[in-house]
Amino acid sequence: MAIYKRLIKMPDGTKQRADVYWFKFQWKGRSIRKSTGQKNPRVARQIEAAHRTALAKSAAGIKDLAPAPTFQEFTKRFLSWVEVERAEKPRTILFYKTRVGLLLKYEPLKTMLIDQIDAGTVARLVEWRKGCARVKVIRRSKGLVEYAPTKHVVSVCGINRELAVLRRVLNIAHEWKVIPSVPRVHLLPGEKISERVVTHEEQQAYLEAAPESLREFTTVAVGTGFRPEEILTMRWENVRFDPVGAARLGYVHNPNGKTARAKRNVPMSADVRAVLEKRHEAAGSARWGYVFEGPTPPEHLSYSAIRGQHERTMKRLKSSPDTKNFPKTRIYDWRHTALTRLGESGADSFVIQKVAGHSSIITSSRYVHPTSERLEDAFDRLQAYNDGKHEKNVEAARNAG
């Protein structure tokens, strides 16, 4: 019999059956004996069966998952991990904190055990977010974030950023063996992608209205196609003014970045070299340190400082009668403008990928727009190539004859 009630010796010397059931069985030559703590024989047998199953799983190398935490509990662990993994990327840390904070505003998700989140949960979250007002994120000191509702409805782009973070949280939970599987989290279609290309006339107006540090930052952005954070973290150790190979005016080395291909050398244009030479001279021909040094060295100029200068410049442009119709412009638009102009000048997708540090050639191909004139030029070059080959073949045949 697998379950039984033990005989207990009483003080008067008599023996009496215990109230609860025990189980006993042999497992790989060992005697397994434990109390079920149950008076009901049916429940006691279930406990015994569960114990046998646990031993079998352990022998097969299968470990049971620990009890799952709530989504809110796990996000605390997740954000602590992000702070360590992305210690050199404060904007990335702030992005995750902000989006997690918005996800936690949905009470059913906040209190739900993370292993109970499924496609239905995600669908209800999306429906709820579609009916919410867009939230303005107010960033305070020491990484604190506050949320203030606006009169606008949350955009598809905003919802997709939250879904992307939710997917990342769930993937990490699965990687850490907190949940057995990850539900599918699909992004919403219809997201508007900002692809503004600043004209040369708009660029000139912007530079005239911008303060010196923003003007120099923008000139480097348009001349290199670097990401904003790559410019702000640029160091003198990685600036080469001497001509090297095809880089006749020198080049800037980016040692790390967002993607595996972000490590790259980008040749200087004349405008970029002029800005860097001016800053280099002002820095006493420094051999190390940040090119865009912040107000409290040795820290670099922060993105929030550049963003503040950019917002004030845009207000200045809007308030001027000559530029009151100046289109909305983001800081990142300067990178997009640089890469688009590179494509329009004749660079192919592979060159753009090298300059931009894109991880995928598909992303780089967006900046190449073959016009009818460029197509005709391509076929003219093909014809000239074929004619040249044909003439060489004829000449070779004559010589052989």
DSSP string, 359-371: S-HHHHHTT----
Q: Measured between alpha carbons, how far is 217 from 227 in angstroms, rounded to an integer?
A: 11
- pLDDT greater than 80 at residue 4: yes
Mean pLDDT (whole number) for 12-38 = 85
Q: Measured between alpha carbons, how far is 41 from 37 in angstroms, rounded to an integer?
A: 11
**pLDDT given for residue 71 in this prediction:** 97
Mean pLDDT (whole number) for 373-388 = 79
Strand 145-153 to 264-267 pairing: unpaired
The string of DSSP letters for 63-132 reads -PPPPPPBHHHHHHHHHHHHHHHTTT-HHHHHHHHHHHHHHTTSHHHHHSBGGG--HHHHHHHHHHHHTS
Q: What is the mean pLDDT of the chain?
A: 88
**pLDDT given for residue 205 in this prediction:** 97
Sign of CA pseudo-dihedral 319, 321, 322, 324: positive
- Say which range, 80-89, 121-130, 170-179, 330-339, has the weakest mean pLDDT: 80-89
CB atoms within 10 A of CB 314: 19
Confidence of residue 174 (pLDDT cuts 50, 70, 90): very high
**pLDDT given for residue 92 in this prediction:** 87
Q: Measured between alpha carbons, how far is 290 from 118 in angstroms, rounded to an integer?
A: 46
- pLDDT greater than 70 at residue 169: yes
Task: Give the whole-number percent of the chain exceeding pLDDT 70.
Answer: 92
Confidence of residue 253 (pLDDT cuts 50, 70, 90): very high
Q: Measured between alpha carbons, how far is 356 from 258 in angstroms, rounded to an integer?
A: 11
Mean pLDDT (whole number) for 7-27 = 83
Q: Measured between alpha carbons, how far is 269 from 341 in angstroms, rounded to an integer?
A: 13
Q: Measured between alpha carbons, how far is 17 from 324 in angstroms, rounded to an integer?
A: 93
Mean pLDDT (whole number) for 123-135 = 89
**pLDDT given for residue 203 in this prediction:** 96
Tokens standing for 284?
A: 């006493």
> Which of 25-39, 237-251, 308-322 shows the highest mean pLDDT?
308-322
Assign domain 200-364 to its CATH superfamily: Intergrase catalytic core (1.10.443.10)
Give the pLDDT confidence of 343-373 residue by residue, as tens digits: 988 888 999 999 999 988 988 988 886 666 7
Give the pLDDT confidence of 26-85 residue by residue, as tens digits: 888 788 888 888 889 888 888 888 888 888 877 777 666 568 899 999 999 999 999 999
In angstroms, what is the C-alpha Rg of the chain? 33
Confidence of residue 132 (pLDDT cuts 50, 70, 90): confident
Confidence of residue 88 (pLDDT cuts 50, 70, 90): confident
**Judging by beta carbons within 10 Å of its beta carbon (0-12, 13-18, 19+), is residue 260 exposed, middle or buried?**
exposed
Mean pLDDT (whole number) for 107-119 = 94
**pLDDT given for residue 16 in this prediction:** 82
**pLDDT given for residue 122 in this prediction:** 95
**pLDDT given for residue 143 in this prediction:** 59
Q: In terms of Cα–Cα distance, which of 113, 84, 117 is closest to 185?
A: 117
Alpha carbons within 13 angstroms on the beta-carbon side of residue 168 total 17
Mean pLDDT (whole number) for 280-294 = 95
Structure-model confidence comparison of residues 220 and 48, the more confident one: 220
User: Cis ω on the peptide bond leading into residue 298 (within 30° of 0)?
Assistant: yes
- pLDDT greater than 80 at residue 114: yes
Mean pLDDT (whole number) for 106-133 = 93
Q: Measured between alpha carbons, how far is 16 from 9 in angstroms, rounded to an integer?
A: 6
Confidence of residue 172 (pLDDT cuts 50, 70, 90): very high
Mean pLDDT (whole number) for 16-29 = 86
Confidence of residue 142 (pLDDT cuts 50, 70, 90): low
**pLDDT given for residue 26 in this prediction:** 85
Structure-model confidence comparison of residues 203 and 399, the more confident one: 203
Q: How far is CA 198 from CA 66, 143, 202, 220, in A?
A: 54, 33, 6, 15
Asked whether 25 and 48 are in contact (CB, 8 A), the reply is yes
